[in-house]
Structure 1
Amino acid sequence: MEQNNLTVWQFFVLTMSFLVGTSFFFSPGGLIAVAKQDAWIVPLWGGTAGILASLIWLSLARQHPGLSIVQICTKVGGKALGGVFALLYISYFIQLSVFITRNLGDFMKQTLMPMTPMTVFHVMFLFITGYAVIKGIDTIARSSELLFLVMAATFLFIFFFGLTEWDWNRFQGSFHMEVWKTMKETRSIFGFPFMEALIFQMLFPFIQTKRKKTFILAIVVATVMLSITTLFTIGVLGVTRASHDTYPLFVIVQEIHIGTFFEHLESTIALILLAAIFIKLSIAYYCSVLGLCQLFKFTSRFWITLALSLLISGLALGNDNVVENVEFSKKYDFEYTLLYSLFIPCLLLGVTWFKRRHKPKTAGESSP
């Protein structure tokens, strides 16, 4: 397949953009609805769990250098059982691409173009990301470097001018949550976005130096940024408004007015969200294609990418509306992701250690 290597900066940008890009828009409202004024604390324990899980993924990658999670499955479990695990991971990457595509369609239809069929958004965006997937990880990484700077500048602009509506009184009643109950009701934060970072086990072979430090640092930065975004949303909108809006950050942008010159900036923030979705979807889409190519020994990505675009576009229409999508994520996303992010990696790691401890000694290693 590819021999390209990612730089440390590119790997950091890809990881952090994947984690925070869409969660900035979709997570704060649901967290605030449950945890109220203390919602900013929830990403902190979600990120902590993500860091602990990443140690397992990094340990597994260190035991099998140069191999993706699909290749590790077939190496450790054999062609039969390992192939089943590899297909499970590929199906998970495809399903993740479906979720991201559906989030795009829901956002565009609900906020900007309500009369446009959702399939139009899906097909147009999958065409763009499909082209990036065909060109390879190097193209995706370079695009992410450029888009990351634009997104960062835009978010700083929003935070700076949004602070004019900040009110500390909106935090009255803080630090009264029931930790265990809140953790149970907001368990989806573990799955989205932190456990989804398991997908980078497909990209670990492309980063040769400082992989562990860079990956963990990106998770830490993403955790802090998501916590600050949630805090910012509470301070600007308040608990009641923020918990009733599907996209609270978008609402904040709608209400930013700088004289009579800067108004109606929501179309600009929509473009930034599209850039964030492009990065995340490109990574998930690319890993789906790469996994299929590695498992079935395909040498060209073109036809696989084309076929998957049709599959993803169709599956993205599975839910009737955004409410069903949100409810599924709230109730099942954590349990669904747990299988791929913890159970199977721990099983692969355990089998790897067992095989190495009970590996038969060669003639030169046998005792006299």
Structure 2
Amino acid sequence: MNSAGTLRVSELAVCLSLFEVGSTTLFLMGGEAKQDAWLAMLAGAFTGLLLLCIHLGIHHQEPDLDLFQLLRNHMGKILGTILSLLFISYFAYEASRNLRDLAEVTDLTLLNRTPLWLVSLITIVVVSNTVRYGYRVLFLMCMMLFPVMVLGYTLISVLIPSTGLLHTDLSLPVMENGWGPIFRAAFPEMISFPFGQAVLFLVFYPYARNGRNLNKVVIAAYIITALSLTFINQLIIFVMGPQIAMFSTLPLLQTVQLIEMTEVFERMDALFTLLLFLGLGIKLAAFFHGAVIGLERITQRSYKKWVLPMGIVLYGVSFLSPTFTEHIEVGRGFTLIYISPVFQIFLPVLLFLVILLKKRMKNKKTKNN
């Protein structure tokens, strides 16, 4: 893939925003903190912002190199290749999870008589076709869908209070049990999903054209998205209450189904399902792109040759969990606690320290000479 500055910074920021939204609205985030879920989300978002600053710091050391090139340059060819393969596996696994999420949501909401394997097959074929045309198509698609996503979630955020569903007293008392439940809900789960997943964009930053304003625009997009997600998440608490919301399979969908404005807005759940499909599809495509770009970097073979094999792998891996319940338990439990922090926190921080150390040693050597 040619990385000669083919993206506007605004396109990168919009894609990051939609990527963060992705499948986040599918779940109640910070449910363990109950009515203080908003505080848990803000704590997770703040930590995610620090990670994003580290990612941007890594990028600005060598702006022309993506994540895989940086790993091979600074970690050595062998270790760098091994770490690149691990990141490719991580991106592929996250893509497969989004594929399963999309298929399950389709089964639960619209096509309950259509086999799961068929829904997944159609989805992966459509997304693979998008990936085949390169990252440029993904970012243009995000620009086209951005107004739809903003309008849809704004409409939901306005209609819920205007139809009398909002009960702000359900978020009281604030910090009833102190900071303990808030921190337990935020760390590491909230960082791992969704905020820490922005590590993927280390693959895309080099494509930005004249990235002088990259930091400001990306950080602004991240903050606005994090605050919006926190507000939308808290709407679930305001409507359903923390106790009921915690045990709901699709809490925001159930919340939206309660909206009733006769002869004005009907079947708002169809709108929300569309927004979910778009978010999941974008996130799936973004992780898919990250995986095939990595394979191109390692093998020096065009990413297009890896689209079909990777699509087959994603399709197969998406069925590893026999049931949706187990799929959620693995993804929101073991993966977020033990796997994601390695790729989102440990390895990026290690890479940043190695780059800074090598840069310092080089400057010292130059000064001595």
Q: Give the TM-score normalised by the residue count of structure 1.
A: 0.92
SS of corresponding position for 2:76: helix
Which aligned runs of 4 or more in structure 1 are off by greater than 4 angstroms?
364-367
Structure 1 position 361, deviation (Å): 8.0
Question: Residue in 1 aligned with 2:10?
Answer: 9
In the alignment, structure 1 residue 339 sits paired with structure 2 residue 337: no
Cα 1:341/1:168, change in 2 over 3 Å: closer
Following the alignment from structure 1 to structure 2, what is the Cα–Cα distance between the partners of residues 334 and 211?
30
Structure 1 position 31, deviation (Å): 2.2
In the alignment, structure 1 residue 314 sits paired with structure 2 residue 316: yes
Summarize deviations over 1:253-304 as a string: whole Å, max 9, x none: 22222114532232232122111112111111111111110111113x3331
Q: Is the 8 A contact 2:240 2:255 kept in 1?
A: yes
SS of corresponding position for 1:359: helix
Partner amino acid for 2:178?
E
Q: Is the 8 A contact 2:25 2:276 kept in 1?
A: no
Of 256, 260, 264, which aligns to 2:259?
256
Question: Residue in 2 aligned with 1:67?
Answer: 65
1:270-285 alignment, distance < 5 Å: 270-285=273-288
Identity %: 25
Summarize deviations over 1:40-63 as a string: whole Å, max 9, x none: 111101110111111211111112
Q: Where does structure 1 lack aligned partners over 5 or more consecutive residues? A: none
In the alignment, structure 1 residue 31 sits paired with structure 2 residue 34: no
Alignment: residue pair count: 362
Following the alignment from structure 2 to structure 1, what is the Cα–Cα distance between the partners of residues 357 and 111?
56
SS of corresponding position for 1:313: helix
Following the alignment from structure 2 to structure 1, what is the Cα–Cα distance between the partners of residues 53 and 5?
25
Structure 1 position 366, deviation (Å): 5.7
Following the alignment from structure 1 to structure 2, what is the Cα–Cα distance between the partners of residues 238 and 361?
59
Q: Is the 8 A contact 2:16 2:198 kept in 1?
A: yes
Q: Give the TM-score normalised by the residue count of structure 2.
A: 0.92
In the alignment, structure 1 residue 168 sits paired with structure 2 residue 171: no
Question: Residue in 1 aligned with 2:19?
Answer: 18
Structure 1 position 172, deviation (Å): 3.3
Partner amino acid for 1:60?
I
Structure 1 position 308, deviation (Å): 0.7
Q: CA RMSD in A?
A: 2.0
1:223-302 alignment, distance < 5 Å: 223-260=226-263, 262-299=265-302, 301-302=303-304
Following the alignment from structure 2 to structure 1, what is the Cα–Cα distance between the partners of residues 260 and 280?
26
Partner amino acid for 2:284?
L
Structure 1 position 148, deviation (Å): 1.3
Question: Residue in 1 aligned with 2:329?
Answer: 327
Bigger shift: residues 43-52 or 129-138 = 129-138
Following the alignment from structure 1 to structure 2, what is the Cα–Cα distance between the partners of residues 247 and 219?
25
Following the alignment from structure 1 to structure 2, what is the Cα–Cα distance between the partners of residues 361 and 255?
65
Cα 1:8/1:65, change in 2 over 3 Å: closer
Following the alignment from structure 1 to structure 2, what is the Cα–Cα distance between the partners of residues 144 and 222?
15
